[in-house]
Chain A
């Protein structure tokens, strides 16, 4: 057997809306099988347009999309039953109950067996913690409950790919944790997860791979480790004796020493943290906190795009 084809692959994917605005420009995305793929970018960077093209909801102006090696939208009816999706927030029939909403989406999928529908709906509701609200009308749901119901719809069947656009929107911190652990357990079962978010630490916590979009273009993609590789870790000391600490760090060979209030940092490259800490203490410096800080995805993002995480123009 050859290497399994990537779960998602795009070739020169572009979308120009009728207004003339180029929303997505020459996207070459490759999501390996089994990855938890973080799709990052500020609001307006083309994430949702890309996801809509992946799902066959809108046609690309140029380029093409393949899911599981099959062309979208041509093979949509064959491929999409393997995909669970939450796109740009949940949507429901307000006059139907939670369970009835799921039954309708399930009936729309020809590959779904009506005989197991009830059990699968109960399972999906259980999984997202909505069992008690199953018989409530969706219009009575809170924003967080609607988000959970949307996730339940994506989980009606065992999926090979989950496309989740901002899945933790509207959830409380407890709900966010639950979603993260849900994603981890799905990924552990081998489901490929494509997770778009503007929350960097959310991606950092669960993703194995990431891609960064900016103004419709793909800035970079790769494993999360690769993305952070260009940035160096920093050694940070919190102390009231900042000036003395700065001297010690410089003496130990630390490059790029910065002092911000009671925090002193320097490049961790080539330094032995334990030796530096001992040197600080023996110099009589009161160390309140000490550690090596890995670069965050946010640092990587800023380094890659040279801009903050704001709405793209």
Chain B
């Protein structure tokens, strides 16, 4: 029973019911502050790392990313095969055949309203409810993972998934744009021309903004996921919320609530293609996303930390 005493020594690191404390492995608490700190960092990453390898090792999630990667391909091929280009009015798409980099902007514009939220809805809706539904939630909790830590790891993994999903679209579009179309200096929406390198930097920042635009939805999905043990219901609700938000967006009489919808400023990333960059909508978007993360993250926490786990 060597464990009982050693666990007690490690447990002093934990601060009561609060999950922030990270335990030193029992009986292996090494002397020297540096090594202790290092082993803490490694430990902290341990379950988070496992969550990420589980997430990105799962065939379903890889299929979602594969589908996202295929959209720029379909778009690029369609543009390449279309001989007649309507002048103007086509937004980014009309520029793709002149400059392959615009395939990145076009693909993000196309995937942001539907395909990216669909992928996020599936993964976020599944995050807690999937564990509950298959019964693994109870075993994680008695491991014990700690409810707050579980929620933090799940939320962090969702943010990483948003980032990976956005870059999957962007990188796929970039590669296909390079193959199918000419490249060169980019003409901005405001008329100036910038070098290909500078435009590439903008493309990276835009992809980051798209990923950030999805964070509010991640928080909604995470919250919905704590409400049910049925993953498919949580997925449907999360995707449904996005559709609902889009519908509310299109009703003029609701203009007073529209600035508070998480989809309201999703297209603001295009403002980065102006010179000087027009920032108010971008900032508004980031604030909305932060607000949704705060509200729905807290709601998810309140729900998960108090709920009876019966599954």
- The judgment on whether A and B are partners is yes
Q: List chain A positions with a Cβ less than 8 A from chain B.
A: 52, 55-59, 68, 73-78, 80-83, 85, 87-96, 103-115, 153, 157-160, 189-190
Q: Is the CB of B146 within 8 A of A77?
A: yes
Q: How far is the CA of A103 from the CA of B10 in the complex (A)?
A: 21
* A108/B16 contact (C-beta < 8 A), A82-B3, A114-B43, A160-B1 known: no
CB contacts under 8 Å to A, within B136-163, are 136, 138-146, 149-150
Q: Which of B3, B54, B134, B138 touches A57 (beta carbons < 8 Å)?
A: B138
Report A121 CB to chain B, min CB distance, Å.
Answer: 13
Q: For the complex of A and B, list the 7 residue pairs with the smallest distance between their C-beta atoms, beginning with the closest.
A: A91-B135, A108-B143, A58-B308, A108-B145, A80-B144, A113-B25, A78-B11
Q: Is B38 close to A, CB under 8 A?
A: no
A189 to B1, CA, bound (A): 8
> How far, in whole Å, are A56 and B10 apart by their CA atoms in the complex?
21
Residues of A within 8 A of B308 (CB): 52, 57-59
Name the contact of A93 in the complex, choosing from B1, B54, B142 (C-beta under 8 A).
B54
Name the A residues within 8 Å of B22 (CB-CB): 110
Task: Report the bound CA distance from A106 to B19 in whole Å.
Answer: 17
Across the interface, which residues of A come within 8 angstroms of B23, CB to CB?
A: 77, 110-111
Cβ contacts A to B, 29 pairs, < 8 Å:
A55-B138, A57-B138, A57-B142, A57-B308, A58-B309, A58-B310, A59-B306, A68-B4, A73-B17, A77-B146, A78-B7, A78-B8, A80-B143, A81-B143, A82-B7, A90-B135, A91-B139, A93-B136, A94-B134, A95-B59, A96-B54, A96-B57, A107-B50, A108-B144, A108-B145, A110-B22, A110-B146, A114-B42, A160-B4
Q: Which residues of A contact B17 (CB under 8 A)?
A: 73-77
B46 within 8 A of A: yes
Q: Which residues of B contact A (CB under 8 A)?
A: 1-4, 7-8, 10-11, 14, 16-17, 19, 21-23, 25-26, 28, 42-43, 46-47, 49-50, 54, 57-60, 134-136, 138-146, 149-150, 306, 308-310
Contacting pair B144 A76 (CB below 8 A): yes
Residue of B nearest to A49 (CB): B310
User: Which residue of B has the minimal Cβ distance to A91?
Assistant: B135
A81-B7, A107-B47, A111-B7 as given contacts; A190 in contact with B1, CB under 8 Å: yes
Considering the chains assembled together, what is the distance between the CA atoms of A80 and B16 in angstroms? 13
Q: Is the CB of A56 within 8 A of B141?
A: yes
Determine the chain B residues whose CB is within 8 A of the CB of A114 once the complex forms: 42-43, 46
- Best-buried of B23, B47, B142, B309 by chain A (most CB within 10 Å): B142
A55–B308 Cα distance when bound, in Å, is 11
In the assembly, what is the distance between CA of A226 and CA of B240, in Å?
61
The residue of chain A having its C-beta at the shortest distance from the C-beta of B11 within the complex is A78
Known interface pairs A57-B308, A113-B28. Does A108 touch B140 (Cβ–Cβ under 8 Å)?
yes
Residues of A within 8 A of B25 (CB): 111-113
- A91-B138, A91-B139 known; 15 other A-B pairs, CB under 8 Å? A57-B308, A58-B308, A58-B310, A73-B17, A76-B17, A76-B144, A77-B23, A78-B8, A80-B142, A90-B135, A91-B134, A104-B54, A110-B43, A113-B25, A114-B43
B46 to chain A, nearest CB (A): 5
Q: Per a CB cutoff under 8 Å, which of B1, B26, B54, B136 touches A111?
A: B26
- A77→B144 contact, CB < 8 A: yes
A87 pairs with B138, CB closer than 8 A:
yes
A24, chain B: closest CB distance, angstroms: 13
Contact partners of A91 in chain B: CB under 8 A: 134-136, 138-139
Q: A59-B308, A81-B7, A82-B3 are in contact. Are A87 and B142 (CB under 8 A)?
A: yes
Query: Could you say which residues of chain A place their CB within 8 Å of the CB of B306?
Result: 59
Cα A110 to Cα B2 in complex, Å, equals: 17
Bound-complex Cα distance A107 to B58 (A):
18
- Which listed residue (B14, B141, B149) contacts A78, Cβ 8 A? B14
Shortest Cβ distance from A94 into B: residue: B134
| A95 to B49 alpha-carbon distance, docked (Å) | 17
Question: Are A77 and B14 in contact, CB atoms less than 8 angstroms apart?
Answer: yes
